[in-house]
Amino acid sequence: MTTYRQPGLVLTDHRFPVPLDHARPDGERIEVFGREVVAADKDRSGREKLPWLVYLEGGPGFGARRFIGPQAWLGRAVKEFRVLLLDQRGTGRSTPANRQTLPLRGGPAEQAEYLAHFRADSIVKDCELIRRRLTDGAPWTVLGQSFGGFCATHYLSTAPEGLERVLVTGGLPSLYATADEVYRAAYPRIRRKNEAHFARHPQDAERVNAIAAHLIDHEVTLPGGGLLTVEAFQSLGILLGSGDGTHQLHLLLEGAFVPTPGGPALSDAFLEQVQAHLSYAGHPLYAVLHEAIYAQGQGPTDWAAERVRAEHPEFDARTALAEGAPLLFTGETVHPWHFTTDPALRPLRETAELLAARTDWEPLYDPERLAANQVPVAAAVYQDDMYVDTAHSLETARAVRGLRTWVTDEFEHDGVRAGGPRVLDRLLSLARSEI
């Protein structure tokens, strides 16, 4: 362990060996990294007296956020908890899984088999091993953001004895929906986010169509070697699911073109910013396992977002340009072409295909156990959340005994970041029946 300080905080880095396959506890082991965070004044008065809160980041494929000091929700949490910021397996400083490391497993078939152990079920089993090591068996509080809420729901289904309470922000999953059903609910929301963006920034419609036309007529390479196709450009719509995303997108678009001797061209500055938003180099599992988080033995996911997109011709760029309609951005969707356009994903294309074809995924949720739940649970559900369907979340909320919801349109999907102290305070009060 390594301990060090930031303003107002004492941090201790932990590394936990865990089985790759929890069904084979004596088999291969990987490493999971966690960063313990305690308020400096609490550390001096005895951190051992503080209850634990483990934070599960959204994703899949993202390590826990790196804070500098008591920022966002963390400042509220350390007032009463020892916080563990957990890098879920394969992310952050946990044993990495990416284009550089996965060939150590062998070919695509071996890589796909390895990555089948990186869903919520394995993450929760990791948490239980870590909890018993850190808390001497005492239950802890889980804070799950987005996909972290999916993991927390699985936790309630399989190991509620490890939980003091559960707090979910923008992450109550459907207990039953297939990947196809998830995306059939998603595309109309994505369209509404587009309409709201163009209503706020009407000048962007012309800019977006000009960029799309340029990309159809020219092959454009990003600074890191990625291809900026028109479909890749449309995926910048992922920004529209965050509180300031519409403003970020508007500012990005306004500097797209510069004059050159050969005519207008997309500027280096624009392409650099686009690459920062679109590259999966830092979180490849987000793309590789994205649809697998919805798979529960109901058949293959088989690139559901791509197939369902075909049911919504309004998202076709060439049709929009031909009809003079504003080009629509897409959102939190992963497509086969991502594994052609992005250098971080190209070597994983066949691996991703095998995972998309897999049919033996285990169920992730136990409706009967959730209906008998006795763990206090509170969830922030964001009205018209672009990433997680509100109707699905509320259906699940009704299915989990004792779960209390805070339904709000004050925040987008990133409410725990944008309004962290207030969001966390509200959920703690709900879970404790203080309000």
Residues identified as active-site: 146, 360, 413
* 3-state SS class at 114: helix
CB of 204 within 8 A of CB of 239? no
How does DSSP assign 211-263, residue by residue? Answer: HHHHHHHS--B-TTS-B--HHHHHGGGGGGGSTTHHHHHHHHHTT-EE--TTS
- How far is 86 from 62, CA to CA, in rounded Å? 10
Q: Which residue in 159, 181, 145 sits closest to 54, CA to CA?
A: 145
The amino acid at residue 107 is: G
* 170 burial via Cβ count (<10 Å: 0-12, 13-18, 19+): buried
Return all residues near 297 (Cβ < 8 A) that are at least 6 apart.
Answer: 359, 360, 361, 362, 363
- How far is 155 from 167, CA to CA, in rounded Å? 12
- Structure token digits, residue 91: 């992310």
How many angstroms from the chain centroid is the CA of residue 334? 12
- How far is 393 from 426, CA to CA, in rounded Å? 18
- How far is 321 from 213, CA to CA, in rounded Å? 7
* 237 burial via Cβ count (<10 Å: 0-12, 13-18, 19+): buried
Angle at 382 between CA 419 and CA 407, to 5 degrees: 95
- How far is 398 from 367, CA to CA, in rounded Å? 11
Tell which phi-psi region holds residue 156, choosing left (phi > 0), alpha (psi between -120 and 50) or beta. Answer: alpha
